[in-house]
């Protein structure tokens, strides 16, 4: 699942790795890319999707995604 901001300048998406871990990818038209690794192996994609949907509507998308994850007690680490 993935979402573009209203202005089309930012994107957030969820990807699953071969080892079962999940990552959120944030891309901005400016060339900025940040990968967020979800720490809880049992965190459902539905919970993460809800956080992405909330975050993509925020004025500051990346901060909005992190805030939405934190509000749902979804543990994460910034990968790059």
- pLDDT tens per residue, range 2-56: 999 999 999 999 999 999 899 999 999 999 999 999 998 889 999 999 999 999 9
The number of folded domains in the chain is 1
Q: What is the DSSP letter of 72?
A: T
pTM over 0.85: yes
Interatomic CA distance for residues 25 and 36, integer angstroms: 6
State which residues form the domain around 69. Answer: 2-78
Per the CB < 8 A criterion, the answer to whether 70 and 54 are in contact is no
Q: What is the C-alpha to C-alpha distance for residues 76 and 14, in angstroms, rounded to an integer?
A: 13
């Amino acid at each position: 699942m993935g979402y573009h901001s209203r202005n089309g300048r930012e994107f957030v998406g969820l990807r699953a790795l071969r080892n079962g871990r999940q990552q959120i990818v944030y891309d901005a038209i400016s060339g900025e890319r940040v990968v967020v690794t979800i720490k809880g192996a049992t965190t459902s994609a539905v919970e993460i999707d809800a956080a992405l949907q909330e975050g993509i509507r925020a004025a500051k998308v990346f901060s909005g995604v992190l805030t939405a994850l934190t509000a749902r007690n979804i543990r994460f680490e910034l990968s790059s």
